């Protein structure tokens, strides 16, 4: 009996399925659909993290962010540099500040 997934998976998942004696049915996405599927994957991974609070789910989010950056023509280094620049100009979240309002 076939089990439907219809979602973007990591590159080694088809091999893992084959190693279990099952047959994966796949197709390669074009660039446009790839970006849309990455965005859906980001939503999925964030939801999984919010439910589990596990570090592994944060790693999955990071992997999707890297892929989104690369799909937009940026390297992992570009993403890290943008994060560092934003942190330098706007700060991070270390101080745990909640802005209530401004007058």
**Domain-wise residue ranges, the chain:** 29-75
pLDDT the model gives residue 66: 98
* For residues 72-84, average pLDDT: 98
Give the single-character DSSP code of 78: H
Rounded to two decimals, what is the model's pTM? 0.89
The answer, yes or no, to whether residue 1 has pLDDT greater than 80, is no
Q: Give the CA dihedral 67, 71, 73, 77, nearest 10 degrees.
A: 0
Contact 1/31 with Cβ under 8 angstroms?
A: no
- What's the N-to-C CA distance of the chain in angstroms? 62
* For residues 29-48, average pLDDT: 98
The answer, yes or no, to whether residue 2 has pLDDT greater than 90, is no
Q: Measured between alpha carbons, how far is 77 from 79 in angstroms, rounded to an integer?
A: 5
């Amino acid at each position: 009996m076939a089990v439907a997934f219809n979602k973007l998976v990591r590159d080694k998942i088809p091999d893992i399925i084959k190693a279990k004696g099952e047959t994966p049915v796949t197709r390669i996405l074009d660039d446009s659909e790839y970006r849309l599927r990455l965005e859906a994957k980001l939503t999925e991974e964030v939801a999984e993290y919010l439910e589990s609070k596990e570090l592994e789910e944060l790693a999955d989010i990071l992997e999707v962010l890297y892929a989104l950056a690369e799909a937009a023509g940026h390297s992992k280094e570009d993403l890290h540099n943008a994060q560092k620049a934003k942190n330098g100009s706007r700060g991070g979240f270390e101080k745990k500040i909640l802005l209530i309002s401004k007058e």
